[in-house]
Chain A
Amino acid sequence: MSLGRLVLRHATSHPVRSLLTVAAVGVAMFLFCFLRSIVTSLDAAVKASASNRIVTASAVSLFQSLPTAYREQIRDVPGVQSVSRLTWFGGLYQDESGFFGQFGTDPEVILEQYPELLLPPAERAAWVADRKGCIIGAGLAEKYGWRVGDEIPLIGTIYPRVDRAEWRFTVCGVYRSAKANVDEMTLYFHWSYLDETLERGEAQGPRGTSVLLVRVQDGVRAEDVSAAIDAYYSGGPQRTRTQSEAAFQADFVNMLGNLPTFLGMIGAAVLLAILLGIVNTMTISARERVRSMGILKSLGFPDAVAAQLYLLESIALVGIGATIGLALAYGSVPFFRKLFGVQIPMYEVAPDTLVLAVFLTIVIGLLGGAVPALASARLKAVEALRRGA
């Protein structure tokens, strides 16, 4: 026999009520973690961005292509180490549901610029050598069951082929990502293959490149290089907007408007609702146990022990529920990665979300038990025995 066992017996004396309370906390904590993880996953790409990479895009719009000649010109800007093209292809696999990110790029340059893009040397060499080849992220390979050597047919939407045929890319490699700024749900192919096809008139679509990825030399301030590039094109023919990779990633997050704030508010509201629910449950329990508290006090248990029983019970109920909620949140990461696909390809429950959830669990547990605990501590034994009779 121990006070812990007494807490357990009290908590399980109304099994249905306790189960519902635990389930409610579990669902609330899962929701909190899920909503917060959407925000942190979007944010993680921004935080993981390299400080020595900058992105040059049209100052008018991301949808406005930059002239190809800009690549050579920017390469000559002092402080620039390398420049790669990146063009948004926007193709569809099979139908509209088969949408994922596809970019035409310069294989050798981008692999040098992005060391976090992990590709076995043999596959790297194969991609560089094959102008119709592509590499795909491990998540994409898993989702569609693609392997090296497979041919991926894509319907061009921005770049339709004039013969209405599909574009076909051969999988030369499957990459993995070492950091959150690179997702594993994208296909990269040769920019030159796209450009040559357009040149031959076999496909239609805008020429040029969506953006230019610039690697800054070590020891050079990225801000200075950005300013130099934008200054160079300030008179046209097309003005540019150059920003750090982090700022570029943040722009995508900002395109979602106030979604992070909105999700945060929903998460907070869910937790507040569950706190009120716990207070209600514990208050009902306390009302039913006035006599038991009187008995304990008459046996010589101090007021503090009576209060502790409610606090421990509340923490136990909330703790069990929160553990289930957290397990659900972690367990469902693969499911949500598939569900979100390209929208949030690097969805994950971050460690700081876990820490915050544990902290909130303790706070909700303590606050939930505090009301009956205080009332119980103040109640005199005689009064408790009389009221509970």
Chain B
Amino acid sequence: MRPLIELEQVRRVYLKGGEPLVVLDGLDLAIGAGEFVAMMGPSGSGKSTILNLVGGLDAPDEGRILVGGEDLGALSPAELAEWRARHVGFVFQSFNLLPVLTALENVELPLLLTPLGKAARREQARFALEIVGLADRMDHRPRQLSGGQEQRVAIARAIATDPAILLCDEPTGDLDRHSADQVLDLLERLCREHGKTILMVTHDEAAAARAGRIVRLDKGALVAGSGPA
């Protein structure tokens, strides 16, 4: 079966101080639908760049990125934004919730991009918060929540539109062990019970061990785990 996410000969070069810095150099990576993949490697190895490329937030200098058979390079910025809203949910290390909105409103935010009506949006946001176990915190602002709760709200927001792919950039990086375990339990459950394909960047071996597969990067190239398990 064809993988859900395919990176073919992807090269990404940034300019740093006027000098080219090769972050990814001819990288090939395939991730199957419903996989939970942890991506590890030293800082600057290109992990977050891969997340941004797969999420359509960045574009490769060379190579192709196919998601569900669709070449992201062929989409205009507006089409890419629309595609992202339908297919991808992001979970960031620092949660990235809007501080002026309540938990429920933060989760409802991506649903504004769907054709759902107000009541349906609210219902779906409540459901997402129930999934992450925060139905009783929906009217709290981010600053009224613990780090673990904030990250679970962020996950609820990521799954609110029911995307196929979750891209998690060090989701447990700012959390204590207990909260990190809760978040990882949740991600595991989302993969197992809801069929989400999860690509998670982490520095934490214990977190990576919760994934079905670990890919390791070094200096812009994969050193282990390039294809679906």
Mark A residues whose CB is within 8 Å of B: 1-3, 5-6, 9-10, 13, 291-292, 294-303, 380-382, 385, 389
Contact = CB atoms under 8 A, between A and B. Distances in A.
Interface string B98-134: 1111001100111111000010011001000000000
Given A5-B105, A380-B57, A382-B58, A301 B100 contact: no
A174 B97 CA distance: 68
B82 interface: yes
Given A1-B112, A300-B82, A389 B58 contact: no
9 contacts: A1-B104, A1-B112, A1-B121, A6-B98, A9-B100, A296-B109, A300-B88, A301-B81, A389-B94
Contacts of A294: 96
A88 B205 CA distance: 100
Nearest to A13: B100
Interface in B58-106: 58, 77-78, 81-86, 88, 90, 92, 94, 96-101, 104-105
A10 B98 CA distance: 10
Given A291-B96, A382-B52, A300 B57 contact: no
A10 B94 contact: no
A297 B58 contact: no
B58 A301 contact: no
Given A292-B98, A302-B81, A380-B57, 16 more contacts: A1-B101, A1-B104, A1-B125, A2-B112, A6-B109, A9-B100, A10-B100, A295-B97, A298-B55, A298-B90, A299-B157, A300-B82, A301-B81, A302-B78, A303-B81, A385-B92
A300 B98 contact: no
Contacts of A292: 98
A6 B105 CA distance: 9
Nearest to B85: A300
Chain A binding surface, main DSSP class: helix
Interface residues of B, number: 35
Contacts of A1: 101, 104-105, 108-109, 111-112, 118, 121-122, 125
Point out which of A1, A6, A295, A382 has the most chain B C-beta atoms below 10 A from its C-beta.
A1
A1 B57 CA distance: 25
Interface of B: 52, 55, 57-58, 77-78, 81-86, 88, 90, 92, 94, 96-101, 104-105, 108-113, 118, 121-122, 125, 157
B173 to A, nearest CB: 12
A291 B99 CA distance: 11
B10 to A, nearest CB: 16
A10 to B, nearest CB: 6
Contacts of B84: 298-300
Nearest to A2: B112
Nearest to B114: A300
Contacts of B118: 1-2
A381 B57 contact: yes
A139 B92 CA distance: 69
A361 to B, nearest CB: 25
Contacts of A296: 109
B187 to A, nearest CB: 18
Nearest to A294: B96
A291 B95 CA distance: 11
B96 A295 contact: yes
A3 B113 CA distance: 11
A292 B101 CA distance: 11
A291 B97 CA distance: 10
A221 to B, nearest CB: 66
B206 to A, nearest CB: 25
A5 B104 CA distance: 13
Nearest to B53: A382
A388 to B, nearest CB: 9
Contacts of B55: 298
A382 to B, nearest CB: 5
Contact of A3 (B83, B94, B99, B112): B112
Contact of A300 (B86, B121, B122): B86
